[in-house]
Amino acid sequence: MQNIEDLQEQLCRILTPFVPDGLDLQAETDLVADLDLDSMKVMDIVVDVEDHFDISIPLNILPDVRTIGDFVLQLQTLLKEEA
């Protein structure tokens, strides 16, 4: 079972190409407001994250994902279900 910090670190690595220069990613970083991601980009990232963790991530989680921390919590739940 991966802990929250590990999951966040892995997620941040996936998000790296979308991070504006000088921005330090935190659990509170807002995907839309801080990273300027539109809905299509967020869905593309979900596909990348699925492949990284080799799990299915339904788009249905997205209304509950505003920040990196929210995303990590959803990931933790999904990984627990798959285990």
Partner 1 sequence: MAIFDKFQHLAATRQALADSGIDSIHVVMDNIVSPTEAVANGRNMILAGTNNYLGLTFDPMCIDAACDAARAEGTGTTGSRVANGSYSGHVELERELADFFGFRGVIVFSTGYVANLGMLSTLTNPGDVLLIDSDCHASIYDGCRLSGADIIRFRHNNVDDLEKRLRRLGERSANTLIVVEGIYSMLGDRAPLADIVDLKRRYGAYLLVDEAHSLGVLGDRGRGCAEEAGVIEDVDFIVGTFSKSLGAIGGYCASNHPELDLMRYASRPYVFTASPSPSIVASTRAALKILCSRPDLRSRLWQNAQRLYQRLQELGFVLGPEPSPIVAVRLESKEQALALWLGLLDRGVYVNLVLPPATPDGGCLLRCSVSAGHSREQIDTICEAFESFQSWEQTAQIA
State yes or no: residue 54 binds partner 1 (CB under 8 A): yes
Helices (H) and strands (E) in the chain, counts: 3, 0
Least separation, in Å, of the C-beta of 68 and partner 1? 21
CA atoms within 13 A on the CB side of 11: 24
Alpha-carbon distances, residue 6 vs 15, 17, 18, 32, 40 (angstroms): 14, 19, 20, 23, 26
Query: Candidates 2-10, 19-27, 57-65, 69-77 — which segment interacts with partner 1 by CB under 8 A?
Result: 57-65
Is residue 12 part of the contact set for partner 1 (CB under 8 A)?
no
- Pick one of 28, 36, 59, 77: the residue that binds partner 1 (CB under 8 A): 59
Residues of this chain that bind partner 1 (CB under 8 A) = 38-41, 43-44, 46-47, 50-51, 54-60
